[in-house]
Amino acid sequence: MPKEIKDIKDFLLIARRKDAKSVIIKRNPERNTRQANTKFKLRASRYLYTLLLNDKEKAEKLKQSLPPGLNVKEVKPKAKST
């Protein structure tokens, strides 16, 4: 079961832990009714921690401040088929 984290500082503390393995970054584009957002999914030994950011600049800063030993993967959102 994933755990949602609201605070960036808490997310960085968990990312620095020994059991943190990888981070998946998913950037969702802006749509008609909602704004663009960025999801950070941090895989630890027990839980998958998620953080949702609506600010592109904060998301880029957070990506730069992730620990260097962490495996970072960027995922592009799937194209919506109509």
**Which domain, by its residues, includes 59?**
2-75
Q: What pLDDT is recorded for position 79?
A: 72
69 domain-assigned? yes
Q: What pLDDT is recorded for position 51?
A: 97
Q: What pLDDT is recorded for position 11?
A: 97
23 domain-assigned? yes
**Domains contained in the chain, number:** 1
Compute the distance between CA of residue 24 and CA of residue 21 in angstroms, rounded to an integer.
10
DSSP letter string over 31-82? Answer: -SSS--EEEEEEE-SS-EEEEEE--HHHHHHHHHTS-TTSEEEEEPPPPPP-
Strands 71-75 and 22-28: parallel
CATH of the domain at 8: 3.30.720.90
Q: What pLDDT is recorded for position 81?
A: 67
Quote the pTM value. 0.87
Ranges of the chain whose pLDDT falls below 50: none
Q: What pLDDT is recorded for position 44?
A: 95
